[in-house]
Structure 1
Amino acid sequence: MTQPRADAADALAELGRIRLDEITLDDMLHRVATLANRSVPGSRDVSVTLVRGRAGWTAAFTSELARELDEWQYEQQRGPCLDASVSGDTISVPDMAVEQRWPGWAQRAGAAGVASSLSIGLPIQQSVVGTLNVYGGSANAFDPAAIEVAEHFGAYAAVALANAHSYDSVAALAGQMQEAMRNRAVIEQAKGIIMGERRCAPEEAFALLSKISQDTNRKVRDVAAALVARAVEGRPRRG
């Protein structure tokens, strides 16, 4: 069932109310695609392309058709969504039937019922760029007013996506740091056990852990955790 059109201002306001500490990056991307599909006049389907280096992928989409049209471009390494992600510009395909820049893709899109498209560049950050891809069911589906709405929405979405991506990256880094601290703690505990048993220096204790790791093809952290666990199990209980 087709969803009713949403006022662009209401859609942007809804996007602005999203709290990044209460939503994942994937959820944010899906929300952007859904709101864009509801707010851009003439839109049939929407997807969000992200590009890192030479690799592109569809991070959110409102239909399988949108995802398939994106993925064809990734496979061919050419198409409006990829060009817009590089330039940061808006690329319009008013009529797939007469499109000459990407004839193969245009023919495929037209056969699937997509007759026009907009690709709005989203300069998220240096390492990751993207596009908001808006697909129309009829030729010339996007008049100047619709293009303006899409561009305003894309600019707002780019900021939201950049913030969400930064928040997600910081959260991931914090998790990695916590894991590293836990790993270091258990390794230090294991070194202490070896030093107590062998009366050796910290360097020698770590060298022994490393040798066991290499001989058993296990991570140093796993070797250390096993040693600590055995020491705890072998400790006499009080009481």
Structure 2
Amino acid sequence: MTAARSIEPQQAFAELGRIRLGETELAGVLARVAELAKISIDGVAEASVTLVGDHGAHTAAFTGELAQVLDEFQYDVERGPCLDAATAGSTFVIPDTDAEPRWADYAKRAAAAGVCSSMAVGLPVQEAVTGALNLYAVRKDAFDDDAIIAAQTFAGYAAVALANAHSYDSTATLARQMRDAMEHRAVIEQAKGIVMAQRRCTADEAFTLLSRTSQDSNRKLRDVAADLVRRASQR
């Protein structure tokens, strides 16, 4: 692990702004945020991104196992700087894990893992999702005032990129669901037409027959309909 900065923070900010939605999935954006934080902020040995939503907290991206392990320890004990940063949207710096009174359990675990100082910066991602940028260092007092300002500025750019990516991902998912629903409805309508022709029944009666077949066979209605349409086309 290295704590040496390899690019200037301004380069990282610019790269975050150049991320093209539609060409990069949300997971890719998250991974790039963690990587850019590691190589652009002084003192960082490993970095990760925590996301907190309706289903709790999880590490969405990390640069090394050390970051993931310490993140997950905080989730397990339900206490730690990354969770508080995500909740409060604030920045929490631990200069020395051997002398940290606020999160004693986490600090003890971090020190045992070789992390001597850390920083967590809140990330407002989306209304229902918050997060934190987690930075881990292998020396004490790794984050001076300049590093803290750089991390907070980086987090601001990252939050915009993540919010846009999250919104794009949600919109794309909704579009796929709507397209799938329309395709399934079209198949079901075709199957109803086949049943109506075969049984000389009404549309409602045809739908009831398809639904009954779905229940009896423990298969989804759209699968029953697709199978019927496929067999009819083969004949």
TM value normalised by structure 1: 0.95
- Aligned equivalents of 1:175 and 1:94: distance in 2? 47
State the match for 1:147 in structure 2.
148
Q: Is the 8 A contact 2:5 2:43 kept in 1?
A: no
- Aligned equivalents of 2:121 and 2:177: distance in 1? 34
RMSD over aligned Cα, in angstroms? 1.1
Please give the per-residue CA displacement for 1:22-57, whole angstroms capped at 9, x wherever unaligned.
Answer: 101111001000101111111111000001135111
State the match for 1:186 in structure 2.
187
> Partner letter of residue 218 of structure 1?
R
TM-fit CA distance, 1:136 = 1.1
TM-fit CA distance, 1:111 = 1.1
User: What SS is found at the alignment partner of 2:22?
Assistant: helix
Instruction: Say yes or no: does 1:52 pair with 2:45.
Output: no
**1:170-185 counterparts in 2 under 5 A?**
170-185=171-186
Greater shift in the superposed pair: 20-29 or 50-59: 50-59
> Partner letter of residue 177 of structure 1?
M
User: What SS is found at the alignment partner of 2:208?
Assistant: helix
State the match for 2:106 in structure 1.
105
State the match for 1:93 in structure 2.
94
State the match for 1:66 in structure 2.
67
User: What SS is found at the alignment partner of 1:22?
Assistant: coil
TM-fit CA distance, 1:124 = 0.7
User: What SS is found at the alignment partner of 2:142?
Assistant: coil
- Aligned equivalents of 1:54 and 1:118: distance in 2? 24
TM-fit CA distance, 1:147 = 0.1
**1:110-129 counterparts in 2 under 5 A?**
110-129=111-130
**1:206-217 counterparts in 2 under 5 A?**
206-217=207-218
TM-fit CA distance, 1:18 = 1.3
Please give the per-residue CA displacement for 1:152-185, whole angstroms capped at 9, x wherever unaligned.
Answer: 0001100000000111111111111111111001
Length, aligned pairs only = 234
TM value normalised by structure 2: 0.97
Runs ≥4 in structure 1, deviation > 3 angstroms?
A: 1-4
Q: Could you list the runs of 5+ residues in structure 2 that have no partner in the other structure?
A: none
State the match for 2:84 in structure 1.
83
- Aligned equivalents of 1:115 and 1:57: distance in 2? 23
State the match for 2:21 in structure 1.
20
- Aligned equivalents of 1:148 and 1:77: distance in 2? 27
> Partner letter of residue 191 of structure 2?
A
- Aligned equivalents of 2:46 and 2:167: distance in 1? 27
User: What SS is found at the alignment partner of 1:29?
Assistant: helix
Q: Could you list the runs of 5+ residues in structure 1 that have no partner in the other structure?
A: 235-239
